[in-house]
Amino acid sequence: MPAPRNSLRGFLAHAKSALRAAVDSSQKITFVIGNESADLDSMTCSVLYAYIRSMAPPPSAFSPLYVPITNIPFSGIQIRPEFLALFRHADIEPRHLITLDDLPDLSVIKSKLRPENTSWILVDHNAFQGQLGKIYSERVGGVIDHHEDESKVPQDTGCEPHVIVKTGSCTSLVTEYCRQAWDSLSSAGIDSGTAHGQGDTLSDDDTVVNLWDAQLAQLGLASILIDTANLQSEDKTTEHDSKAVEYLEAKIRTCPQLSAGFNRSNFYKEINSAKKDIGGLKLQDILRKDYKQWNEQGQRLGISSVVKSIDFMQRKAGDEANTQSLDKAYIEALHRFSKDRDLDLYAVMTTSTSSEGEFRRELLVLAFNDSAISAAKKFAADAQEELRLEDWLSSDGIAHGQSGDGYWTKVWWQRNVQHSRKRVAPLLREAMN
Ligand SMILES: [Mn+2]
């Protein structure tokens, strides 16, 4: 049976308790899971897909309920101020989001959530990483993604999608895939028995459904706007993104209550400035806020994306360590972060705007053993031209390919600013092979 038409808040509460019941009674269940960085895009992809599919499951669905999992512990929500800003527009609170903490503990998950009882739809990634990936990657039943295809998901995914297309935002692809089902839900009202078309006035039920649609549309819209800089980034914006924005804006307009005060640019600015408002976070939290990890040839690579400059992080590190030697404090903080995760190779990518308003990227690479050091040097040579890497200098000379006790580090300006982690990660991984 499909889930009842509901608000986002109502749906998430329903999904959370249904997840508990499914675990307790070993029922089949389908998860929709975003990637481990758990950025806004991953979160909204999984929520949007799970919401629409649970209310309109295909006849041969593995299970009628689709549970959206945000791929972080609950505590990770607090270091994502853009989530909190967006939740207000979608009328949900952090406690509604379903996170890793809602799954059985890793030590018992295999027996409590038997792989054969699960199906996993990957959104915003196409290779199931991490501890969950180790246990459940054989159970991947569908994918919608905009990263490089790692050819891990089988071609035949039955009634679930197999969509891997380069776009600014993966949420655009989810929106595109769900359009028809969503439109049917919108016109069906609260249940199929609802009366329709009574003159030109909206019935109360229509008003409620339009509000729910508009809240969900804002949730999806936020990611697309963040990922495409309000559709202004020519490098990132594709036809899929602009069409999805058009579609979601139309959903918002059906709700006079929300559309009256809605302005796309203001909405983008609000979510974007919340995303950049990380001054109150600890440096370790800034580094783990948008973080991804890979295993390559027995070596472990981690990459943090940060929306502030290295300079900002160095000052933060200096403040936290109460020292004047900012470079040293910063490098120590990076060592600590890498050690906690047992990394062989660690990279930090930053985005910032210069005082002249120019969009900039920095790239820092830190290697911790001989083979990681040779991979890092190979990367530097191979990627130099494509990324247009240029030496970055600081007071302590951190940029000079410094070697310390068994480590090597270097910082560059990445002058080709169109390349995000989506491109830099594959280049680093290639160099490790
Ligand atoms: Mn994405």
Structure tokens at 332: 């120590």
Give the span between the Cα atoms of 365 and 383, in whole angstroms.
Answer: 13
Q: How much distance in Å is there from the Cα of 48 to the middle of ligand 1?
A: 14
Q: How much distance in Å is there from the Cα of 335 to the middle of ligand 1?
A: 27
What is the structure's pLDDT at 401? Answer: 55
Q: How much distance in Å is there from the Cα of 47 to the middle of ligand 1?
A: 14
Q: How much distance in Å is there from the Cα of 223 to the middle of ligand 1?
A: 8
Q: How far is CA 389 from CA 26, 149, 361, 386, 399, in A?
A: 52, 25, 10, 8, 12
What is the structure's pLDDT at 168? Answer: 97
Q: Which CATH number fits domain 283-432: 3.10.310.20, 3.40.50.970, 3.30.1540.10, 3.40.50.1100?
A: 3.10.310.20
Domain definitions of the chain by residue range = 8-269, 283-432
| CA count, 13 A, side-chain hemisphere, 241 | 25
Cβ contact 223:41 at 8 Å: yes
Helices (H) and strands (E) in the chain, counts: 15, 12
Q: How much distance in Å is there from the Cα of 145 to the middle of ligand 1?
A: 7
DSSP string, 12-36: HHHHHHHHHHHHHTT--EEEEE--T
Please list the pLDDT of the chain residue by residue as tens digits (433 residues).
888 899 999 999 999 999 999 999 999 999 999 999 999 999 999 999 999 999 999 999 999 999 999 999 999 999 999 999 999 999 999 999 999 999 999 999 999 999 999 999 999 999 999 999 999 999 999 999 999 999 999 999 999 999 999 999 999 999 999 999 999 999 987 764 444 444 455 677 888 999 999 999 999 999 999 999 999 999 899 999 999 999 999 999 999 999 999 999 999 999 999 999 999 999 999 999 999 999 999 999 999 999 999 999 999 999 999 998 888 899 999 999 999 999 999 999 999 999 899 999 999 999 999 999 999 999 999 999 999 999 998 655 555 556 677 889 999 999 999 999 999 999 999 999 9
Q: How much distance in Å is there from the Cα of 35 to the middle of ligand 1?
A: 8
Q: How much distance in Å is there from the Cα of 42 to the middle of ligand 1?
A: 6
CATH T-level assignment (fold) for domain 8-269: inorganic pyrophosphatase (n-terminal core) (3.90.1640)
3-state helix, strand, coil split of the chain in percent (to 5) is 50, 15, 35
User: What's the predicted TM-score (pTM) here?
Assistant: 0.91
Q: How much distance in Å is there from the Cα of 332 to the middle of ligand 1?
A: 30
**In residues, how long is the chain?**
433
What is the structure's pLDDT at 194? Answer: 44
Task: Report which DSSP code applies to 363.
Answer: E
Burial of 246 (0-12, 13-18, 19+ CB in 10 A): exposed
Q: How much distance in Å is there from the Cα of 428 to the middle of ligand 1?
A: 19
User: Interior CA angle at 280 toward 341 and 36, to 5°?
Assistant: 35
Q: How much distance in Å is there from the Cα of 131 to the middle of ligand 1?
A: 21
Give the span between the Cα atoms of 310 and 333, in whole angstroms.
Answer: 12
Burial of 266 (0-12, 13-18, 19+ CB in 10 A): exposed
Q: How much distance in Å is there from the Cα of 167 to the middle of ligand 1?
A: 9
Q: How much distance in Å is there from the Cα of 137 to the middle of ligand 1?
A: 20
Largest CA distance in the chain: 78
Cβ contact 294:307 at 8 Å: no
Nearest to 129 by CA among 147, 104, 156, 108: 147
Q: How much distance in Å is there from the Cα of 41 to the middle of ligand 1?
A: 5
Q: How much distance in Å is there from the Cα of 238 to the middle of ligand 1?
A: 13
Q: How much distance in Å is there from the Cα of 146 to the middle of ligand 1?
A: 7
Q: How much distance in Å is there from the Cα of 291 to the middle of ligand 1?
A: 13
Q: How much distance in Å is there from the Cα of 127 to the middle of ligand 1?
A: 13
Q: How much distance in Å is there from the Cα of 402 to the middle of ligand 1?
A: 33
Cβ contact 176:48 at 8 Å: no
Give the span between the Cα atoms of 152 and 137, in whole angstroms.
Answer: 9
Q: How much distance in Å is there from the Cα of 172 to the middle of ligand 1?
A: 10
Q: How much distance in Å is there from the Cα of 103 to the middle of ligand 1?
A: 23
